[in-house]
Structure formats: C-alpha cells, structure tokens
Structure 1
C-alpha cells in the first residue's frame, strides 16, 4: 500500500484496513440510518491469537487482514484493525443466517492459507432507539468470550432484540 496523508487519517499503516476510529464513526452514522430504515446490522470481532512481537506471527496477522478483505465481497461492509491485535467487521443489511454464512466463509478462506486459531464473536441487531450504540460492542465482546470458551476456531453469534 502506498502511503498518503489522506489515507493516514483512517487507515491502519500495517494492514491497510480501516482504523478503529474510522470504523466506529462509520458504524455510528449507519446506526442512525438503520434505525430509520429498519435495516439489520452484524458486528464481528475476530481474534487470530497472534503474538505481534513475533515477526512470523505478525506476518500471519497481515496475511489474515488481506484474506479478510477477500472474504467479504460486499463493498458496503467495513473491516478494521481493532484494539491492535483483533479485527472487527461491520456487515450491513444482513440477518443472523447471512452472518453465519459469512463467518464460515471467512474461517474456510483463512484455514486454506494460514494455520491459525481464529475465534469469532458476532452479534446481529436490528438497531432501535431502545438499544444504546455502545452496547453493541459490549455484546460483541461477550460473544467473543463465549466463542473463546468453546475452544479453537470457534464462533458465537447472538441476536440482540
């Protein structure tokens, strides 16, 4: 990726993915649109369990970032580097079943190319004024914890009503 000051404000320099601040800004804006349009949203947290201090594992992390971009085909979805050693994905206008399909596609794509334990926590929500925007990240983190408890390469999806 060629460095530019324009990209520096919203891209992660190592992976080329969006940064966490930009991801949160986009989701917040879309949240209000989805309330108005009654459209669903899925948020995924992905933990590849890599030690970024290790050069080989850091290379795996960057490879996974590229594979994630290839695995999400829709241009309106958004992927970011989250909390330095995680990834987050926002899937717009997708129900729980569609979210399940995307997670399986991601797992399969990554397992074909990289030997890594990828745990995924996801929520699917129909945004409303009764749900606080920040709550979706807490619930997604809880879903990731539940997936971690299941073991390697596990995932967990929760519906928020």
Structure 2
C-alpha cells in the first residue's frame, strides 16, 4: 500500500478510522443538509471500556474499530475515534427505530466476534436521534449524547440508551 499524506490528515493513525476533526466537519455538513431536507439523524457514542495502555486491550480496541467499520453499511454513515477511548458514529437520514436496529446489530456482532482474554467485551452505547433545526446547537447535541452514554453506563453491562430530540 502506498502511503497517502492526504489520507493521513483525516484518519486516526492507530485505528484507521476518521479522526474527530474530520467527523465534526462531515457531521456539520450533514446537519445542515438534513435541516433543509427535514430528515432525522442519529449520533452514537460507544464506550468499549478498554484500557488503552495495555497492549492486548489496545489490539482489541483496534479490532472493534475494524468491526464497526464493517457494520456501517451506508456510504453516508461515518465512524470515528472520539476522545481517544471512544467511538462516535453519525447515522444520517435515519429515525429512532432504525438507530435501535443498528445499535442492537453492533452489540450482537461485538459480543459474538470480539473477545478480550476469552471474555466478551462490555460495550455501552449512548445515542441521540434528532431532527436538525436552528433551535438546536450541535454542541448541545454532543453534550446530550455524552449524558445519554453515561445514563447507559449506569444501567450495567452492554447497555444502551437512545433519546430522541424533536
């Protein structure tokens, strides 16, 4: 494979996923497009509860990144490494029910395919489905999704929470 300097500017070096800056750029563009189209979107924060200072767990984190990439089927969906130890997924033109289906598929595939020391990985998901509007700030949406992730983490192992803003 030939190294691409252009590609390196928007990819995370360890996982190969998009980096947070590129994710935010695409998310902002899609937000405005969906506002015009009056269509919903979802943002997911995924916490695999992995200690990245441990080399075995770091490899598991990278395996999860690759699996998540395989599980985002639509070309408009975007996934990134977010705040170093999380993943974020942007699902555009999707309602709450569709988001629920995708979250369940992700959790099932990770549970079946990713093991850490012979044990299934505990992945917690917080998601927010929203109809973009000028009355909602994107920054507040990300804060709300972070709170939703925290809420899911309080529910226990492999939990998820989806909130809807409209």
Q: How does the TM-score come out when normalised to structure 1?
A: 0.97
Segments of 4+ moved more than 2 angstroms: none
CA distance in 2, matches of 1:29, 1:94: 16
Q: Does 1:131 align with 2:140?
A: no
SS at match of 1:25: helix
Root-mean-square deviation (Å): 1.0
Stretch of structure 1 that moved more, 56-65 or 25-34: 25-34
What are the residue-to-residue correspondences of 1:96-135 with 2, within 5 Å? 96-114=96-114, 115-135=120-140
TM-aligned CA deviation for residue 8 of structure 1: 1.1
TM-aligned CA deviation for residue 88 of structure 1: 0.1
2:146 corresponds to which of 138, 141, 149: 141
SS at match of 1:152: coil
Task: Give a deviation string over 1:98-125, Cα, whole Å, max 9, x none.
Answer: 0000000000111111121100000000
What are the residue-to-residue correspondences of 1:12-161 with 2, within 5 Å? 12-114=12-114, 115-161=120-166
Equivalent pairs counted in the alignment come to: 161
SS at match of 2:32: helix
SS at match of 2:39: coil
SS at match of 2:87: strand
Q: How does the TM-score come out when normalised to structure 2?
A: 0.95
Structure 1: tracts of 5 or more residues without a match = none
